[in-house]
Structure 1
Amino acid sequence: MSAIDAGLRVLRSSPFIQLQDGGRFGVRHLGVTQCGALDWIAHRWANWLLGNPLTAAVVEITLGNAEFECYRDATLALTGADLGARLDDQPLAPWRSFAVRKGQRLTCAQPRQGARAYLAAPGGFQAPSVLGSCASMLREGLGGLQGDGSAIAIGDSLTWAGNANAMRQIPAEFIPQYQAAPHLQLVLGSQIGDFRGQSLFDAFNSEWLIDQRADRMGIRLNGPQLQCQRGSMISEGIPLGAVQVPPDGQPIILLNDRQTIGGYPRLGALTPEAVALLAQCLPGQTVHLTPTTQDSALLAQRRLLAQWQ
């Protein structure tokens, strides 16, 4: 695609800047994982601002270090983390739609609050659909601009086919607050009874530190050593937000790019809202795990989804 055809031309990027959409579903029996935007709430709001389908493709900008040149006038939207975005020399706050003119440059520097921002364009960014999604997944070689899972690279062209007719504003009460030490709701799993009592007390009454080993596949937590009395396990399907406990006793929270099956015991799984909050946490931050029931989590999820109705 030539620069003339582009909506945005990529001038600066990193392996952490990817094209993501609502995710790839119905293919886990093939060993293909979910992918999609880690902070699905910010992703939905970015599309809502432009009147897009809520699952349309956006650019997931992790940790900043991005720059784009506009090749045509348009209305774009930015949600999620505050990455010090600027349009030319003017600061650009997240959680809003904004007009760009041909020749302007949009930059994201580094995190001020949160870890991931979401850039949306009218109708969603265009890319080949692979197994029902254009979500990038390099390990499996699926999705992205080229269909091979690669991240957005310098020189790439981003385009879209839609038009944003009205400037929307997100109600202030719906904008998430990225707290320094969020409490993450966790639905207890079937193996919860296999953990020692002291370990369960520690799991839900301790601060957990986010390890440097954190990516789209999973996030390791550092804290008290959890002990499970269960021996070997047959591998089983892994849901989004599963909290596995390997032999070293340090939990791993599995995210969108997780493997499809695994054999470590689990405390349970984070709620979808908790997964979105975790996606905005940086290494070195602390989090708390808070137990909840399936019924309570379902009710909370329904209330959350009602925001876009």
Structure 2
Amino acid sequence: MSRLKIEASTPLCLLQDAGRFGVRHLGVTQGGAADGCSMSWANWLLGNGLDVPVIEITLGGFAVVAEEDCLLALAGADLGAQIDGQPVAPWRSFKLGQGQKLQFTQPLLGARAYLAAPGGFDAPKVLGSSATVVREELGGLDGMGLPLAKGATLTYQGHALLVREVPMEYRPDLRLNTPLDLVLGAQIGEFSGQSLFDLFNSAWTLDSRADRMGIRLLGKALQYHGQPMISEGIPLGAVQVPPDGQPIVLLNDRQTIGGYPRLGALTPLALARLAQCLPGAKVRLRPVVQDVAHREHVDYLQRFINR
């Protein structure tokens, strides 16, 4: 067993995996890494299963000290990671010697970094997952849904020897303002024509009122002309429009049902990019049909095969 001692943390530093599935009929949300792509690459760097527990570090403020020599991996945002004051770039595995400190300072590019350990960090499974959902008091190091705290110990059982990097062509360029793909939903035809034009031809600003439940997009108010809805199940990435006309993208810790009309849902790859955007950033949406989105996601998953 190998150990890392947490020397600094914030309420935004959480243990996450791929999430909790098969329980939404019980009113239990999915949880899991907000940027599933970066989580998968962090695990890939160490030869782990792509969905084993990692640390999701949002905006920095996290630090650990190694109790023995180890090999870790980092993917996602550049949060100014340093080992004893020396910079550590993301998208690679790296050695952390006994007594050395790894710390994350502040966002330099992106919002969320993912720290992986060989075999995944140890944590009990609650309803099939270790993903932390603070609101529902599920997951995390003790299974009670608590954020990672200063003084806690992270343990893992695996071994990894190879230092490697994610190929450059597979790393998302977080400096690019690539449009976010939206799979059109059942109520899309109930919005006014002007609203649909504005939806895909205007920039939307990410509201500061954002968390792991959802992100509000600020822009021209959208007009819904359909009938009132009965609450229905909400998938990851659903884009709801409440009465004020400002869309809300629902994320991993979303409620399981809702009655606001939906424009559709962002694809997993679009959600990963959105998870790396800071409040105040501007994004654009692009319509995509389900078959195209499915094909692009299959192409993405094939990158991990035989590498």
With structure 1 as the length reference, what TM-score do the two structures score?
A: 0.97
Of 117, 121, 127, which residue of structure 1 is paired with 2:117? 121
Unmatched runs of 5 consecutive residues or more in structure 1: none
Query: Once the two structures are superposed, what CA deviation does each residue of 1:202-237 show, in whole Å capped at 9, x if it has no partner?
Result: 000000000001111100000000000013100000
Contact 1:180/1:285 (CA < 8 Å) preserved in 2? no
Residue 267 of structure 2 corresponds to residue 271 of structure 1? yes
- 1:68-79 equivalences under 5 Å are 68-79=64-75
Question: In the alignment, which residue of structure 1 is the partner of 2:56?
Answer: 60
Residue in structure 2 matched with residue 99 of structure 1 by the alignment: 95
* TM-score normalized by the length of structure 2: 0.98
Q: Which runs of 5+ in 2 are unaligned?
A: none
Deviations 1:111-162 (A, max 9, x none): 0100000000000000011000000011111000011101000111001000
Once the two structures are TM-superposed, the CA of residue 167 in structure 1 deviates from its matched residue by: 2.0
Partner amino acid, structure 1, of 2:66: C
Separation of aligned partners in 2, 1:114 and 1:169: 19
Counterparts of 1:1-309 in structure 2, within 5 Å, are 7-179=3-175, 181-309=177-305
Conserved? CA contact 1:208–1:287, under 8 Å: yes
Task: Tell which deviates more after alignment, 231-240 or 202-211.
Answer: 231-240
Give the residue type in structure 2 aligned to 1:142. L
Distance 1:84 1:166 in 2: 23
Letter in 2 for 1:61: I
Query: What secondary structure sits across from 2:76 in the alignment?
Result: strand
Amino acid at match of 1:257: D
| Residue type of the alignment partner of 1:145 | L
- State the AA in 2 paired with 1:267: L
Letter paired with 1:16: L
Deviations 1:176-218 (A, max 9, x none): 1113533100000011000000000000000000000111110
Size of the aligned set, in residue pairs, is 305
Letter in 2 for 1:127: A
Distance 1:184 1:82 in 2: 21
Contact 1:38 1:279 in 2 (8 A): yes
Please report the RMSD computed on the Cα atoms of aligned residues, expressed in angstroms.
0.9
CA deviation after TM superposition for structure 1 residue 170, in Å: 1.3
Alpha-carbon distance change, 169 to 6 in structure 1, aligned in 2, over 3 angstroms: closer
Secondary structure of 2:199 counterpart = helix
2-structure distance, mates of 1:136, 1:6:
22
CA shift for structure 1 position 48: 0.3
Deviation at 1:6?
5.8
Distance 1:146 1:182 in 2: 38
| Identity fraction in percent | 60
CA distance in 2, matches of 1:181, 1:89: 31
Partner Cα separation in structure 2 for residue 251 and residue 72 of structure 1: 48
Structure 1 outlier segments of 4+, above 4 Å: none
Do the aligned residues in 1 keep the contact of 2:2 with 2:157 (CA within 8 Å)?
no
| Cα deviation, residue 89, structure 1 | 1.7
The one-letter code of the counterpart of 2:243 is P
Shift of 1:49: 0.3
Counterparts of 2:102 and 2:143, CA distance in 1: 25
